[in-house]
Amino acid sequence: MPANRFNAFTDYGIGLGLRVPHYAHILEKKPTCDWFEIISENFMVDGGRPLHVLDQILEQYRVVQHGVSMYFGSADKPDRTHLRKLKSLVKRTKTPWLSDHLCWGSVDGTYTHDLLPMPYTFAAAKRTAEKIRYVRDFLEVPICVENVSSYAEFHQSEMTEWEFLSEVVERADCGILLDVNNIYVSSKNHEFNPYDYLNGVPHDRVGQIHVAGHTKFEKYILDTHDHPVLDPVWKLYAHAIQKAGVTATLLEWDDKIPSFDEVHDEAMKANRFIAGAREAQSPKKRAVAKA
Amino acid sequence: MTPVGLKAPPRHAPKRLATEADLRALQRMMLRALVEPLTDDDDLAPRWHDGRPMAEVAAEFIKPNDRLSSVDRLQIYARCYWYRLIDCVYDDTPGLRAMLGEKKFSALVRAYLAKYPSRSFTLRNLSSRLAQFIREEPRWTKPDTALAHAIACFEWAQTVAFDGEARPVLTPDDLADAPPAKLRLALQPYLTLFALDWPVDDYVIAVKQRETLRSEASNVIERGPRAVSRKVVPRPRRKKTFIVVHRYNLKLYYKRIEAPAFKILTALAAGRTLADSVEAAGRNAKPEQVREWFATWMELGWFCKP
C-alpha cells in the first residue's frame, strides 16, 4: 500500500530531512535523493536566505512538510496567523501531505517548543481530532499525525497510546506518520510490547514512516536523532511495512549531523527491508502463503 | 514571580479529563512545572509555586514506574525545556555572552526565560525581548547594562536582517518625477539603524571569528546546555558609532555610516519627506555627499514604498 489518500496517492520512496549543514552539498552536488522533508517552521519566515534555499531545493527535489508546533493536542485553538503562514508555505512547496505531532506543547499562547505527551482520554481524542480536521480544512492538504516518544504517562489516561492514536485518526479521518523509533523508545520507557502497538494501529492510514536513532540512559531512553538507526528499530520498521505496505520513509538525523553521504547511506538501509516487504506482497508469494 | 503570559494553573490536577477545560487545566499544571527555573544542579525546582513539594504535585498527574518517580519523569521534560531554550539564546547572542562571561550570561538567560517564556510558535523569536529584559532588570548585567543592552539590540537586528521581509525595491525611475517636498521613502523591514556608544559591530565580528576558530579546533562533544566561551575578545571602548544592520544578496552586513547619514535615514524611517529628511542632516552634510549616500542606499535596495 505505497500510496493512499493520506499521502495524496504518492509513492515517494526514501527521503531525508533537509538540514542546514547539508545545504551547500545539496545545492552544489545535487545528490540523488527521492525527497526531502523540511521542518515547516524553519521556512515560515518573511524573506531572506531560508526561502531562497528552499526555492532552489524545490527546483530539483520533491519536498514534504513536517511541522513541530501545531500542537494538535493543546487545548488552545489553532492560531490563525500561524495557519496563514503555514498555508503560504504549503502553496510554495506544493507538499502532497503535511505532518505534525500527536502531542501538545503550548497553553494560553505560551510555547514549550517540546513535543509533550497527551493524556490518553476520549475527551482529549475528540478535541484533538476536531483540531486536526480544522487545520486540514484550512490548509486543504492531507494531514498525517506522528506518534511522539514519551518519558511520562498521565494517571488520567483511559487507554493505551496506540488506542488513543487510533481513536484520534479515525475521528479526524486523517493519516498516520508512524515513527517506529518513537514506538521503540516509548515501549522501553513505559514497558509495553512495541509489536502490540504496531499491530494495533489502522494500517491503511499510514501515509509515512520515520526512522531515527536514540540514546540510552541508565533509567530511560531519549529520542535524540543523533545516531544511526539501531537494529531493534529496523526490525520494527520491517514489521511496520509488512503490515502497512511499503510506505514513504524518512530518516531523521538532527543532532551531531554527519556528512550528507553518511546520512543518505543510513537511510538507504531501509531498502533491505523494503525488498523483503515487496516480495512478501507479490501476488505469487501471497498465493503460496494462502495455499 | 509569575512568568509573563502564563495563566494560573489549578491548585490540583483534575482527576478525570472529561472536558476541554480539564485538558487545559492539566496542561497549565504541567507547563507551570516546566517553566519553573531549574536548581543550580539543573534539577526540577523542589517546590511548586505555592510552596508545596514539587514531588507531591507531580504525583497528582504523572505516573511513576519502577525506575523513575513522578517527579523524576517530569524532570526529564523540564531539563529538555530549559536546555533547548538556553541553547537557542546561546546561539543567538555570541557577543552578549562573550562580553558578560559564562556565569553572568547563564544567570541572565535563565532569569530572562523565567520571566519571558516563549510566546511564539518559532524559536526564531525567542531572543526578541532580551534587550527589553536587560533594561527592565539591570541587576543581571550591572555594571555593563548599557553595553549589554546595545549588544542585545544589535544581535536581535541580525535575526531580523537574516530572514525579515523584503518589500519591492524602489528604483531611480520610481522616484524620477516625485517632488522631494512630498516624497516619502520607507526603509526595508529587515534593516535596523543604530546610534551606539560602542563599536559593537567590530566587537561582534571579533567574537564570531574567535568562535569559528574555537569550533574548528575542537572535537569536544557537547553535553547538556553548552559551556560558554571565556572572555577573550577585549570589550569595546566607548566611541559613538552609527551602524545599519542589513542584508545584501542574502548575506548579513553591518554598514558603518556617518552621523548626518544616520539622521537622514532615521527621519525617513519616521515618515518624514525626503526634503525634510535631508534637512535633518544639518548644514555639515554637503549636497554631493548626500547624493552619493543616496546612490549607495538605492544600490543596496534599502528603500521601498511606505
Residue to test with chain A: of B26, B27, B75, most A Cβ within 10 A = B27
pLDDT at A280: 77
- Chain B residues with CB under 8 Å of A109 CB are 5, 119
Residue B272, C-beta contacts closer than 8 angstroms, at least 6 positions apart: B184, B280
Q: In DSSP terms, which residues pair with A211 in a beta bridge?
A: A251
| CB–CB contact A111 B23 (8 Å) | no
Tell me the average pLDDT of chain A.
94
Nearest-CA residue of chain A relative to B73?
A152
Q: How far is A13 from chain B (nearest CA, A)?
A: 30
| H or E segment to which residue B252 belongs | strand B251-257
CA A41 to chain centre: 15
Looking at beta carbons, which residues of chain A come within 8 Å of B76? 151-152, 220, 222
Query: Nearest CA to B29 among B88, B74, B94?
Result: B74
Nearest CA to A21 among B215, B125, B166?
Answer: B215
Q: What is the pLDDT of residue B183?
A: 95
Nearest CB to A112 within list B14, B74, B81: B81
Residue of A86, A110, A131, A222 to mutate when probing chain B, most B C-beta within 10 A:
A110
B216 touches chain A (CB under 8 A): no
Residues of B in contact with A219 (CB under 8 A): 67-68, 72
Answer for the pair A208, A250: CB distance below 8 angstroms, yes or no. yes
Q: φ, ψ for residue B70 (rounded to 5)?
A: -55, -45
Residue B62, all three cell numbers: 504523572
> Residues A173-195: pLDDT tens digits?
999 999 999 999 999 999 999 99
pLDDT score recorded for residue B270: 97
B116, amino acid identity: Y
The span from the first CA to the last CA of chain B, in angstroms, equals: 41
Question: How many residue pairs from chains A and B have C-beta atoms closer than 8 A?
Answer: 145
- A256 vs B contacts (CB less than 8 Å): 221
The answer to whether the CB atoms of A107 and B163 lie below 8 A apart is: no
pLDDT in tens, B123-145: 999 999 999 999 999 999 999 99
Q: Give A155's pLDDT tier (boundaries 50, 70, 90).
A: very high
Q: Which residues of A touch B31 (CB under 8 A)?
A: 107, 110, 112
- Cβ-contact B96, B104 below 8 angstroms: no
pLDDT at A185: 97
User: Per residue in A76-86, pLDDT tens?
Assistant: 999 999 999 99
Which chain A residues are Cβ-neighbours of B44 within 8 angstroms? Answer: none
Whether residue A109 and residue B85 make contact (CB cut-off 8 A), yes or no, is: no
Residue entry with cell 515487496: A278
Residue A181 or A276, more confident: A181
* Residue in A52, A110, A156 closest to B16 by CB: A156
Do the Cβ atoms of A46 and B68 come within 8 Å?
Answer: no
Has residue B186 got a pLDDT over 90?
A: yes
Chain A, nearest residue to B65 by Cα: A190
Query: In chain A, where are the structural domains located?
Result: 5-290
CATH architecture of the region A5-290:
Alpha-Beta Barrel (3.20)
When the pLDDT of each residue in chain B is averaged and rounded to a whole number, the result is 93
Domains of chain B: 1-80 (no CATH), 93-163+202-235 (no CATH), 165-199+240-306 (3.90.930)
Judge: A50–B81 Cβ closer than 8 Å, yes or no: no
